[in-house]
Each structure stands twice: as C-alpha cells, then as structure tokens.
Amino acid sequence: MERKFLEEHLIRGTADLPVGIYSVDAAKEGHIPLHYHREFEFLVVTHGKAKIQLEGNAVYLNSSEGIFINSQTLHSSVNITENDGFSFIAIVFSPELIAPEYDNLYKRFIRPIIKNKFALPVVLPDEIVNIIMKTKKISDRADFGYELAIKGNILQMLSIYIANAEKHPYTKNTIQSEIVKKTLDYIHMNYPNAITLRDLASHAHISKEHLCRIFRDISDTSPIVYLNRYRTTQSAYMLRNTNKSISEISFLCGFNNGSYFDKMFMRFMKCTPSEYRRKVQ
C-alpha cells in the first residue's frame, strides 16, 4: 500500500495543487486501518467489495461505487470479497483548494461541509464516479496543464455533490471522535513499544471500559485489536520493502513474542510472515 495515503498529517501535492491522487491495492494488507486527515476525500472502489466504516456507520461498496469522506472524519475499510482483495482510487485534497478561508465561497460551502451543516449523500452519484476515473487518468498522463484539469474536475465533483445535499445538520458525536483520534495518535506514535489497554485509557483520561465502548461504537473493533492490526500492517510494509529478518521486523513493530506475531499475522493477513514475503517479492 502507498503508506502516504494513510498519513494524517501529510502535506499532499504542492502549494499550488494540494491534492493527492492514489491507486491503492488493499489486497496487499487486507484492510485500511482506522485513520483521519484534515483533507476532503473522494473514494471509488475499482475492484472487489469493501466495507467502509465512517464514524461508526458501515457503508458497503461494490466495484464502481464511491463515497465522500469529510475532513477529520474517522474512517477505515475492510475487504468483504471471499478469497479476493479490493482496490480503490482516492482523491484527497485540501479544502483550501476550492477557496481560501477568508473567501465567501469557503464561508458559504466549505465551512458548512466541514462543520457537518449539510446532510450529504453517502454514496456518490455515477457522474462523480466517472469524473474520479477521468481525473486519475489525467494525473497519470501529467500532460502540460494537467493541474488545471484536476482542479477543474474537483470543483465540478464538489459542485455536483453539494447540489445533492440537504441544509440541515448531520449529528456527530465530536467528543467520542476526539477520544478515538487521541487514542489513534498515541498508537501510531508508540506502536513499537509495549502498550496496554490501561496505557490507552490513561492517555485518553477515561476508564478502560469507557474507552472500549467508545472505540467499538466508532470503529467496530476494540483498541487492542486495532493495535495488533496496525502493528501487522506496519510489519507487512517492512516485509515488502526491507531485507530485515522476520524476527527483527516483529520486534520493531511491537511484537516481542515471535509466536504471537505469527498468530496475529495469520489472523489479519491469512498467511504467515514468511509466506507473505515470498508472495509479494
């Protein structure tokens, strides 16, 4: 997987065109772990079927179906195709691409989207899906002036999307979301080290039981399962992209017990670390 796609605080594109356009084969890792970012995102599944988790709500997408993911929204995805993975195209772009914060367009349209003042449709209309596919091709070709075409397409997609919105607030539990985000940040910074449920709850300043309940409501999993899945994701990346030994990778990703690492890898990747390395090399 393109690890840059998952970075919450990554600066995407350039100052002139703050856009990241990604083609992601999730079959390599089996899922996209829970994460968030300040940018907007248009996503369309190009192969297989996926379950997208958005702030605790499950959305099921077939190939050629897509969704819009709002700024700072917690989201993850998992394959639901038997014996097959899924792939998707994502266009991730800064809200300021549309207009700077002081601009009237930002105040009228962008800020209300970020603040969830519009009830936006979950699944994208086919018209937007088609534009996403065209935009990926434009990005791949990178002909002279392609930046203008990409920006124009994003403006068109957002215009079509907003036209389908209703002007009433979408309720979102901000407090719960912030607790989960704080927990994710802690895991992402400290996953190579020993982490207990008590550590995570202490960092969030709530009880272990409360953290588990909130985390499951939003992510459909527990904090410790997420931690082990995230460590497995990082280990899979290292197995693909480094020559480090499996035991060293296990240690670097927070698994101090080799047999437990094998067990978690088999659970999430459906194969052993050595089988995975042979398959992707």
pLDDT-wise least confident of 82-86, 187-191, 265-269: 82-86
The structure's pTM equals: 0.76
Residue 255 to residue 44: CA distance in whole angstroms? 34
Which of 60 and 8 is assigned the larger pLDDT?
60
pLDDT tens digit string along 98-132? 988 899 999 999 999 998 888 788 789 999 999 99
For residue 279, how many other CB atoms are within 10 A of its CB? 12
Q: Residue 201: pLDDT above 50?
A: yes
Highest mean pLDDT among 105-109, 170-174, 261-265: 261-265
Radius of gyration of the chain (CA): 19
Quick one: average pLDDT of 121-148?
94
Residue 5 to residue 96: CA distance in whole angstroms? 19
What pLDDT band is residue 165 in, cutting at 50, 70 and 90?
confident
Q: What is the pLDDT of residue 2?
A: 45
Q: What is the pLDDT of residue 5?
A: 46
Q: What is the pLDDT of residue 57?
A: 84
pLDDT tens digit string along 3-14? 444 455 555 677
Q: Residue 18: pLDDT above 50?
A: yes
For residue 174, how many other CB atoms are within 10 A of its CB? 11
Q: What is the pLDDT of residue 141?
A: 95
Q: Domains (ranges, CATH) in the chain?
A: 3-163 (2.60.120.10), 174-280 (1.10.10.60)
Q: What is the pLDDT of residue 58?
A: 87
Residues 183 and 214: beta-carbon distance below 8 Å = no
Q: Which two tokens stand for residue 154?
A: 């994003």
Q: Residue 72: pLDDT above 80?
A: yes
What pLDDT band is residue 134 in, cutting at 50, 70 and 90?
very high
Q: What is the pLDDT of residue 271?
A: 92
Residue 57 to residue 16: CA distance in whole angstroms? 34
Residue 41 to residue 118: CA distance in whole angstroms? 16
In the block, tokens 């919450």 appear at: 8
Quick one: average pLDDT of 147-153?
96
Residue 110 to residue 160: CA distance in whole angstroms? 14
**Cα separations in angstroms, 258 against 70, 228, 241, 273, 279:** 39, 13, 20, 11, 20
Q: Residue 54: pLDDT above 60?
A: yes
Q: What is the pLDDT of residue 14?
A: 76
Residue 13 to residue 163: CA distance in whole angstroms? 27
Q: Residue 220: pLDDT above 90?
A: no
